Structure formats: C-alpha cells, structure tokens
Structure 1
Amino acid sequence: MIAILQSYSSMLLGALGKTLLLTLLSLLFAMIIGMIFALMNVGRNRVLNCIGTIYVDAVRGVPLIVLAYFIYFGVPSGMKMMGATDFRLSALQAGTIALAMNCGAYMAEIIRAGIQSVDKGQMEASRSLGLSYAKSMRLVILPQAIRTMVPSIINQFIITLKDTSILSVIGFPELTNMGKTIAGNTFKSLQTWAIVGIMYMIVIVALSKLAKRIERRIDRGR
C-alpha cells in the first residue's frame, strides 16, 4: 500500500480534485435547475406544476448511468444525424450535465420541501404589505427556507460525490477511474481499492460532520 502511495499519490490526489470539481460544478447547476422546478411545483399555475412534476419523476426514474450514456453517446449521435458532424461533448461536460440533471431533480424536492416548511401566513402577510409574489418569495420565504435546506443540500452533495464514480464508464478521470488504472498497472487490487475507499471515506465523513454541525446550529437558532 505504501509503495502505491509513493508512486501514484499525485495521480490519486489529482483524480480526487477532479472528482470534487465535477461534484461542485454539478451541484451548482443542480441548484439552479432545482430552484426553477421547485418554484414551478409550489406555484399556482397547473401547467408549470405538471411540467415540474414530470421532470422530477422522469429524471429520478432513469438510472444515472443510462443518463450519462445518453448524453455522452446519444446526444452527439443525434446531432450528427441533424448535420452537426463536429459536435462533441467531453467527459467532463457530459458528466456535469448528467449529474446536474439527476441531482437537480432531487434538489427540486429539497427546495420545494424547504419552501413549504415556511408558514403560509408569511406569504399572505408579505402580499398584504404590497409585495409581489416574486418579491415575497425572494425576500421573505426563501431566506427562511434556506435555513432548513442546508443540511439536506450537504447530504445531496455527499450523494453526488459518490455518484461521480459511475461516470468512470464514460472515461472521466475521477477517483474510481484512476483506481481502475492503478489496479490494472500494479495488479494490486486489494491495496489500490483500499486506498481509494479510504480517500472517499475521509471526504464523506468530513462532509457528514459538517452537515451535523450546521444542523445543530440551525436547531439552536430556532
């Protein structure tokens, strides 16, 4: 195990950095997607409610690996059929889109639950003061909802971090993919996967502790 660390530590750390980069990018776009569809779901427009519900149910019903294959292989193939022969998606681009779409569906539910946890009287009171629905949501409801959403968002970050390992199937050089490469080069699968597992565990345990600490602070602040 020490020999592997001495020879491949820089590659493993680089792969971990790419894993975290992919996770952060995906979560950023997922929060935007989630906010859009959450607002659709909590609004009074039935058409938007239906669109939001269909997106959440459809994306959560498709395995991430299928979504990754569709975006990385299917979309460029479809673009070529339409005449865009030079259209390409890198593994990072396809992976970010797939994870953002997948995570965005779960984020929509987290944000929706956060918004609905705020007393309905808050919206009614702000509207009675002359604020529009959009301003009431932005200035009154969302700031309160965020307090309850933060622990769930961190938990979703952890789930997304673990889901990046699936994207090794499209060749993205994240930590699991690097583990495959090192195990293949050294023929030391036990030691290699033990190191990879420990690296994942350290990051995930740290994030879990952070989520619990934030949750305790929120509970004390109520």
Structure 2
Amino acid sequence: MLESLNIIFQAMPTLLLGAVVTLQLTVMSGVLGMIGGSLIGIARLSPSAPLRWITRAYIDFFRGTPMLVQIFMIYFGLPPLLRGFGIPLRLNPLTAGVLALSINSAAYIAETVRAGIQSIELGQSEAAQSLGLGSVQTMRYVIFPQALRRMLPPLGNEFISLLKDTSLVAVIGFEELFRRAQLIVANNYRPFEIYAGVALTYLVLTILSSQVFSLLEKWMNPIQRAKRANAQLVRQ
C-alpha cells in the first residue's frame, strides 16, 4: 500500500503538469465551441430553410459520430484532403486536438443555445421590438442574456464532458494528462497506481469546474444579485 502511494506521489508532479495542459486545451476548445455553437444555435432558428438544414446536418453528424473518429479524420485525413485541392496544410497535435474538440463541442452547445433561446417568452421579443430594437439588437441585449442564465447548467455539463474528452487527444501524441500517464507507465510498468492518480486528478478537476459553474450560476441569478445589491445598500 505504501509503495503504491509512493509511486503515485512520485508521478504527481508530471501529472499536474499534464493537468495544466488539459485545462488549457479544455478552455481553448470550450471558448471556440461556445462561439461556434452560439452562432449555429441561432442559425438553427433562422427563417431560411437551407440554413436550418445545413446546421441540422452539422449537429447530427458531429453528435452522431464518435469523437475518436473525428480526431482521426482531422489529424490524419484533413491535410491530405486539402493537399489534393492544392492547399498545403500541416496540423500539429495541439491544433488538431483543439479543432476536433471545438467542432464537436459546438454541435452540443448549439442545441443548448437553441433550447435556451426558445425558452424565452415571445413577449420579450415583442416588447423589445415595440421599443424600436431590431432583431439583432433584440437577440443581443434582451433574449440571449436571459437565455444564457438558463443555459449555464447544461453548459457546465458540456464543459465537464469536454474536460474528460481531452484524454482522447492522446491518440495523436499530444501530451496532456492521460498521455503523460501513458509515458510514465511505459517506464515503471505500474499502470494501476498511475491511472488511479490520473482518475483522481480528473475527479478533482471536474469537481472544481462544477463548483465554478455553480458560483457563476448564483452570481448571474437576478434574485441573488438583487439581494447582494440590497445588502450593500444596508451596509452603506
């Protein structure tokens, strides 16, 4: 038992460095996925039927195929395909990993955004338009901010799923948390202890991420914000 703990402690500095890389990969992919998913989710509600069909096809494809297959398609398949059209492209593991994780995450976030926007009462749009706001201004200043508060719980779940899915990028040689663990195991032949340390590290990261989103949800809650404002007025 003590020997196993000693092995985990010895590997922990390397695993923590891998955890930092994993968080960086998750944040970059999450931000890009949020931007792309928001645009796709809004496009899903477009009055243009071809645009709705295209975005629906995108969502169905990337939600209906394994992430591992998508990583291989992008890293191994995309450069030769583009070179066939005369476009030279070389992807390093980081770029390919961020791209694969982002486009996959965008497909899930798009449906969350669509559902969040549709959950806002129609009267909100009508009230904004009666004040002279255009459709873009209505979406930007009225609908989307309200929908974002309702989207936070599923967005938090998607971020946690994305955090765990980063382990798949190890198959193309990117040295995040899981890949570094594989390299350690190749040297000391103690897979149980090392992968147990990896599991605990992922557990800590997911718990911390969940707490951050919970605090963000409370901070964006209008009732909680009103209480904080009243408390500040009382103290003054």
Category of TM-score, reference length = shorter chain: over 0.9
Q: Show the counterpart of 2:175.
A: 173
Task: State the identity as a percent.
Answer: 38
2:63 is aligned, of 54, 60, 63, to 60
CA distance in 2, matches of 1:89, 1:144: 38
Q: Show the counterpart of 1:96.
A: 98
Q: How big is the shift at 1:102?
A: 0.4
CA distance in 2, matches of 1:216, 1:83: 51
Letter paired with 2:34: M
Q: Show the counterpart of 2:161.
A: 159
1:120-164 CA distance string (max 9 Å, x none): 110111112221100000011011111111122111110000001
Q: Show the counterpart of 2:152.
A: 150
Length-normalised TM-score, structure 2:
0.87
Whether 1:123 and 2:130 are equivalent positions in the alignment is: no
Q: Show the counterpart of 1:31.
A: 34
Range that drifts further, 95-104 or 122-131: 122-131
1:50-84 CA distance string (max 9 Å, x none): 12211111111111101100100001111333344
Q: Show the counterpart of 1:137.
A: 139
1:12-35 CA distance string (max 9 Å, x none): 111111111110000011011111
Q: How big is the shift at 1:201?
A: 0.6
CA distance in 1, matches of 2:83, 2:218: 52
Does the CA contact (< 8 Å) of 1:176 and 1:196 recur in 2? Answer: yes
Length-normalised TM-score, structure 1:
0.92
Q: How big is the shift at 1:103?
A: 0.3
Q: Secondary structure at the match of 1:43?
A: coil
CA distance in 2, matches of 1:99, 1:120: 34
Q: Show the counterpart of 2:7.
A: 4
Q: How big is the shift at 1:5?
A: 4.2
CA distance in 1, matches of 2:7, 2:80: 39
1:190 is aligned, of 192, 195, 198, to 192
Whether 1:18 and 2:21 are equivalent positions in the alignment is: yes
Structure 2, unaligned runs of 5 or more: 226-236
Root-mean-square deviation over aligned CA pairs:
1.9
1:77-99 CA distance string (max 9 Å, x none): 113333445x2101010000000
Does the CA contact (< 8 Å) of 1:117 and 1:145 recur in 2? Answer: yes
Q: Secondary structure at the match of 2:11?
A: helix
Q: How big is the shift at 1:10?
A: 2.8
CA distance in 2, matches of 1:123, 1:44: 16
2:81 is aligned, of 70, 78, 82, to 78
CA distance in 1, matches of 2:181, 2:153: 30
Q: Show the counterpart of 2:211.
A: 209
Q: Secondary structure at the match of 1:42?
A: coil
Letter paired with 2:186: G
CA distance in 2, matches of 1:38, 1:199: 33
Larger Rg belongs to: 2
CA distance in 1, matches of 2:216, 2:31: 20
